[in-house]
Structure 1
Amino acid sequence: MREVTTKDRITAAATYLLTEHGADGVSMRKVAAAVGITPMAIYQYFPDRETLLNAIADAAFAELVRRWESADRPVAADEQMREMLADHVDFALAQPRLYAYMFVERRDQARTFPDDFAARRSPTLNLVADAITLGIEQRLFRPDLDLWETALLFAALLHGLLQLHHGARIGMPDAAFRSLCLRLGERIINEIRL
């Protein structure tokens, strides 16, 4: 087992603040106080607050992908897309502030459509694109689909619904909202079928 370093403690404290209070609740002073070091000591590990926040987002993206790739998944591409949708909704409902920082809020390191996606720089959208590609290979999905636009459509539906729900614009309990997301995601899957 690896020793917990000061950098690990800084990242853990900042992650806690982010998940509890959002990005605005993370300051170098608050992180330092939580770790028990001076605010200036953080700069030995992270040159600025944005670098620290981006490290948290990158670690969360890596964890989402690791979780997805390490679990037993169905072979059929449409089933994979359903599971990704459910996993993503569950993550966003369980950690709304971390989700918002990763997928909604402006940040310098955020990937943008179309160039970053086409260059496969988006760890999570790559999974959607791979499932669509698999669906075409399995003759489940139409071969004329634009891969990245279709992946973006799938993600945009989900992110839009989550923003509306987190903004209290969809007035239903989380369980009912989750079911709504799954039903609407199913409509997109049905639209891209052969």
Structure 2
Amino acid sequence: MPPSTGDRIAVIAHDLLVSEGSAAVTMRRVATAAGLTAMAIYRHFPNRESLLESVAETSFAELARAWGERDWSTDYQVQLDEALDAYLDFALERPHLYAFLFTEQRLGARRFPDEASASPTLSVLADALTSGMRAGILRQDDVWELSLVISATLHGLVQLRAGGRLALPDDDFRALCRTALGRVLDGVRA
């Protein structure tokens, strides 16, 4: 079954965002790429913000699905390393989408602490930390605050690199992120 017009519009918006950033996603440009009139797109999305929110929700769901496919009961450190690699792959390979999802102001963005558990990606990290606590690898702690500290550390490093403040090749940057994560987790190891 072919995708609906709304789905096609969302895919076009996603692809523009990935390649050029959120500023490139205009209703007129997306409509033209979809072969629609400028006004026809509004039948599917009432405004640019709702279109971008659709892209965000779909992207977050895909990330949560991909990042959440881990068996934390097996070698915890290997799983943690693989999860960090998946996060960094996303940040380095799709910087425009990463910035849109995690750093740009947008309607519908979840806010800490009230909506922490509603975040599909922060929930994946919280689940990983909870598993480590249950297994006795990490000591009991506030899982949401610890998730926020870890995500802020990693997001900060990614943003410093994106802003040209870290002149490191990919392998060295990944090593720095691994070290930073290890230092944070050292504070809560059992």
- 1:141 paired to 2:141: no
Mapped partners of 1:26, 1:114: distance in 2: 30
List alignment gaps of at least 5 residues for structure 2. none
In the alignment, is the contact (CA less than 8 A) between 2:68 and 2:124 conserved in 1? no
| 1:84 Cα deviation from its structure 2 partner | 2.1
Match of 2:107 in 1: 108
Quote the residue 1:173 is aligned against: 169
Per-residue displacement from partner, 1:13-41 (whole Å, max 9, x unpaired)? 11111111111111001101111111111
CA distance in 2, matches of 1:129, 1:14: 30
Local SS of the residue matching 2:118? coil
Q: Deviations over 1:40-68 (max 9, x none)?
A: 11111111101101111111111111113
State which of 135, 156, 159 in structure 2 corresponds to 1:160.
156
Please give the TM-score of this superposition, normalised by the length of structure 1.
0.92
Match of 1:128 among 122, 125, 129: 125
CA distance in structure 2 between the aligned counterparts of 1:193 and 1:72, rounded to whole angstroms: 19
Point out 4+ residue stretches in structure 1 off by more than 6 angstroms. none
Return the letter of the residue paired with 1:45.
Answer: H
Unmatched runs of 5 consecutive residues or more in structure 1: none
- Of all paired residues, the percent bearing the same amino acid is 44
1:43 counterpart residue number: 42
Aligned pairs for 1:20-39 within 5 A: 20-39=19-38
Q: Is the 8 A contact 2:160 2:166 kept in 1?
A: yes
Q: Following TM superposition, by how much is the alpha carbon of 1:78 offset from its aligned partner in structure 2, in angstroms?
A: 4.2
How many positions carry a matched residue from both structures? 190
RMSD, aligned CA: 1.6
Query: Contact 1:17 / 1:25 at 8 angstroms: preserved in 2?
Result: yes
Contact 1:116 1:122 in 2 (8 A): yes
